[in-house]
Structure 1
Amino acid sequence: MSETALLYDVDAETGIATLTLNRPQQKNALDMSMRIALREAVYAIRQDRSIRAVVLCGAGQDFCAGGDLRGMNVASAEEGRNRLDDLHGWVAMLLDLDRPVIAAVDGVAYGAGFSLTLAADFVLATPRARFCMPFMKVGLVPDCGAFYTLPRVVGLARAKDLVFTAREIQAEEAQRIGAVFEIVEQDRLRARATQIAASLAGASPVAFGLAKRALNQSLGADLRAMLDLESAAQGIAFSTEFHREAVQRFKDKTTPLFQWPPA
């Protein structure tokens, strides 16, 4: 892509798509052009099966400062609801994407920026990364799916703390409460995110997609529903060529198809 609010790049060799929020002078705050570009990119990724993993990052020194307040001139409750409904379509699609999503966070991840990280499967952060749900400071409530994701990631009590107090947390606390997977030095952030994406891209796409969707449903389902889902998913996974080849490689004591940790 040329210089736009979102840079969208796909490495044809690895199948890794990189989405770079690209308004560095505004700390990559989400304006309408970026929201539209993200929607188009997420739709494109969903349709393109050659894409095996996604890396989400920010240009410059920050991940995302949240919504651009200068563009939030909402005249009515109906307009406000429609604004969020338009956004939530692609947010739900990103959350449910049947491929690994890795967020690489440097600097601020505030508001909708924090919410975007919660939509990822793995969050990497630099030591200078900062996370905040600042909505109470401007009389708003969390969005971009945070009411769903935040309690599931950090627990209900900690979610209330972060939302009600609007306090900022550093990378170490974010890791301690489960919102960050790994802390990485700034000069290694992008490379490490790509490394993890490449490793996960080597997993069975069928098994990964089935497991991710089952885990996303698990907290809202009862035991019987999850057991039924397991049976159906495992039946599909057993039938894949990936499974058959992986078993044969195990028997032959040759290099496995999927390798972790990434190296």
Structure 2
Amino acid sequence: METETGGSTVLVEDRGTTRLITLNRPAKRNAIDLTLRVELADALEAAMSAESVRVVVLTGAGKAFCSGGDISTMDRQSPEKTVIRAQAAQRVIRAIWGGPKPVLAAVEGFAFGAGVSLAMACDRVVASGEAVLSTAFTGVGLAGDMGIFHSLPTRVGPAVARQLMLMPKRLSGAEALRLGMVDEMVPVGTALKRALADADQIATVPPLALREMKWIWGRGVVAPMDLLDLEVEAQARLFDTEDFAEGVEAFAVKREPVFRGR
């Protein structure tokens, strides 16, 4: 462990080149109130701009990943006030999708509503066998936010995503794995350990290549022919980097490359 700082609702810790961000409202099962969404967005944006960080791992304190929006802080209000609240939540997803570094979710316990949206927005989801995932938005008369209308169909397909949102059900880790909502299922209590190990592996990938992957993925669903143009742009940037030259040289002399993000 190298550094550790803590806010009231979000904890931030650097483990080598991995930044661990922990939702820290365990008594509320890490439900998202306005303070948490602002602090989480701040933490993610800081991680994305930190030169020492290559991968981000997102998890929850206590026995839950995130139980969704904090309903105790929700009241009927005007659209003008709601826009401010909703944009604060979307800022979290913009940081994940728009940032240059992969984000992994380590899910134990509940991931409901905005919590499942948050997990689905990540580049990799590791969940324990006792994790429980559900869209859950309609239970309080809402449709869904935090990117779920893109992330869920991308993972499970449009038809399945519609059914999961029209008729929400509680999915076990095994069911979520089968549908594609989860990338790997691990024993109870080990999701974070596995996600951190995965982060170490991903950190060996050239950081500039990771940046270009995130840039292409962040363009969303585009026509296949347009996607070819995006790949050309990314390759053109990467071919003119020290990391690319290092990779070619290391391959030629049969040694492990050392990528420095330059």
TM-score, length basis structure 1: 0.91
| Kept after mapping to 2: 8 A contact 1:18/1:54 | yes
Match of 1:31 in 2: 33
Output one character per residue of 1:55-113: Cα deviation in whole Å (capped at 9) or x when no partner.
00011111000001000113222222221022212321212221111100000000010
Match of 2:231 in 1: 230
Match of 2:82 in 1: 80
Q: How far apart are the structure 1 equivalents of 2:248 and 2:220?
A: 28
Q: How far apart are the structure 1 equivalents of 2:45 and 2:180?
A: 28
Output one character per residue of 1:11-46: Cα deviation in whole Å (capped at 9) or x when no partner.
3xx221111011111111111221121121122122
Q: Deviation of residue 119 (structure 1)?
A: 1.2
2:72 to 70, 73, 94: 70
Matched, 1:248 2:252: no
The residue type equivalent to 2:235 in the other structure is: Q
Matched, 1:10 2:11: no
Identity of aligned residues (%): 35
Counterpart mapping for 1:103-252 below 5 A: 103-217=105-219, 219=221, 221-252=222-253
Q: How far apart are the structure 1 equivalents of 2:252 and 2:241?
A: 17
The residue type equivalent to 1:7 in the other structure is: L
Q: Deviation of residue 256 (structure 1)?
A: 4.8
SS at match of 1:212: helix
| Kept after mapping to 2: 8 A contact 1:218/1:226 | no
Q: Deviation of residue 201 (structure 1)?
A: 1.3
Q: How far apart are the structure 2 equivalents of 1:143 and 1:223?
A: 27
The residue type equivalent to 1:31 in the other structure is: D
Output one character per residue of 1:146-185: Cα deviation in whole Å (capped at 9) or x when no partner.
1121111111111111111111111111111111111111
The residue type equivalent to 1:228 in the other structure is: D
The residue type equivalent to 1:137 in the other structure is: G
Q: How far apart are the structure 2 equivalents of 1:16 and 1:231?
A: 29
Higher mean C-alpha deviation, range 120-129 or range 160-169 = 160-169
| Cα distance change on mapping 1:71 and 1:144 into 2, 3 Å | same
| Kept after mapping to 2: 8 A contact 1:65/1:110 | yes
SS at match of 1:104: strand
| Kept after mapping to 1: 8 A contact 2:7/2:39 | no
Q: Deviation of residue 141 (structure 1)?
A: 1.0
The residue type equivalent to 1:126 in the other structure is: S
| Structure 2: stretches of 5+ with no match in the other structure | none
Higher mean C-alpha deviation, range 182-191 or range 25-34 = 182-191
SS at match of 2:256: coil
Q: Deviation of residue 229 (structure 1)?
A: 1.5
The residue type equivalent to 1:236 in the other structure is: R
Q: How far apart are the structure 1 equivalents of 2:143 and 2:219?
A: 24
Q: Deviation of residue 218 (structure 1)?
A: 5.3
Match of 1:53 in 2: 55
Q: How far apart are the structure 1 equivalents of 2:189 and 2:51?
A: 31
Q: Deviation of residue 130 (structure 1)?
A: 0.7
The residue type equivalent to 2:254 in the other structure is: K
- The two structures, once aligned, show a CA RMSD in angstroms of 1.6
SS at match of 2:212: helix
Q: Deviation of residue 257 (structure 1)?
A: 5.0
Q: Deviation of residue 187 (structure 1)?
A: 3.5
SS at match of 1:61: coil
The residue type equivalent to 1:242 in the other structure is: D
